[in-house]
Structure 1
Amino acid sequence: MPIEAALIKPVVDALLALLQRGEKATLKRNADTALREAIRELLLANPDENKAQARIAIAKAAGLLSEDVLLAEDMLQKHRATKARTAGKAGTGRKRKPATAPDATIGSRKPVARRKPPAKPEG
């Protein structure tokens, strides 16, 4: 019996190593996909920052340490900085002109008396 147990352990260890390798490969593939989606999201006109940050965190958790992770983090940081800087601007970027008070001379004039049209002769 001890001989069989000694033979089974290496086989089980080899199978577990293969399964873990497969899981790691799947995890890295999913992390690559998440990272590509995060970068694509950040390139949109109105990106969802939380979604992009979550996808970057997935890639980091999977152990990806590539230039793409750094690029995505840098893009997210720059987008947040730009968003904070432009939050109060109007759509056109121009300042509104302040409302001016009406001129004092316009309201002080007397109304002009209207002339009556000449009477028509009867007849």
Structure 2
Amino acid sequence: MAIETALIKPVVDALMALLQRGEKATLKRNAEAALRDAIRELLLANPDENKAQARIAVAKAAGILSEDVLLAEDMLEKHRASKARTSGKASSGRKRKAAPAKSDDKLAKPAIARKTVKKPTDQSGT
């Protein structure tokens, strides 16, 4: 029986190594797909930053340390910086004006129609 056990253990170890290698390959393939999705998300007009950051984290956790990870992180950082710079601006690029303070007096009184004042006209001559 010792001979059978000695023969079975290397076979089981080899099968486990193949299985783990397959799992690692699947994990790496899924992480690369998540990284591609993160880059694609960041190229959109209004990207979901949290989703992209999560996909980048998945790629890092899988051990992918390639140019694509650095590119995605850089894109995310630049997007957040540009979003912070433009968050308070109007679409025309001008600063917003502060809203005028409303007093209670104006709210209590009814609106009065403006009186139009006629300017004197030059009637000198026909």
Question: Is the TM-score greater than 0.5?
Answer: yes
TM-score, normalised relative to structure 2: 0.75
Figure out how many residues of one structure are paired with residues of the other and give that number: 104
Identity in percent = 82
Higher CA-based Rg: 1
- Structure-1 separation of matches of 2:117 and 2:41: 66
Deviation at 1:44, TM superposition (A): 0.5
Q: CA deviation at 1:110?
A: 6.0
2:23 alignment partner in structure 1: 23
User: How far, CA to CA, are the matches of 1:72 and 1:110 in structure 2?
Assistant: 66
Q: 1:84 Cα shift?
A: 0.5
Question: 2:96, 2:22 → 1: CA distance?
Answer: 61
d(CA) in 1 for partners of 2:10, 2:33 = 35
List per-residue Cα deviations over 1:55-86 (Å, max 9, x = no partner).
Answer: 00000011101000000000000100110110
Q: How does 1:13-52 map to 2 (within 5 A)?
A: 13-52=13-52
C-alpha displacement of 1:95: 4.0
Work out the CA distance in 1 between the residues paired with 2:96 and 2:56.
40
Cα 1:53–1:9 shift into 2, 3 Å: same
RMSD: 2.3
- 1:6/1:35 CA distance change after superposition, 3 Å: same
Does the Cα contact within 8 Å between 2:38 and 2:52 map onto a contact in 1? Answer: yes
In structure 2, runs of 5+ residues without a counterpart are 99-113, 120-126
Relative to structure 1, the CA distance from residue 71 to residue 2 in structure 2 (aligned partners, 3 Å threshold; closer, same or farther) is same
Residues 1:53 and 2:53 aligned together? yes
Q: Which moved more, 1:18-27 or 1:89-98?
A: 89-98
Q: 2:88 and 2:13 mapped to 1: Cα distance?
A: 61
What corresponds to 1:120 in structure 2? none
Supply the distance in 2 between the matched residues of 1:96 and 1:83 (Cα, whole angstroms). 17
2:72 match: 72
Structure 1 spans left out of the alignment, 5+ residues: 99-106, 113-123
Amino acid at match of 1:65: L
- Alpha-carbon distance in 1 for matches of 2:26, 2:80: 31
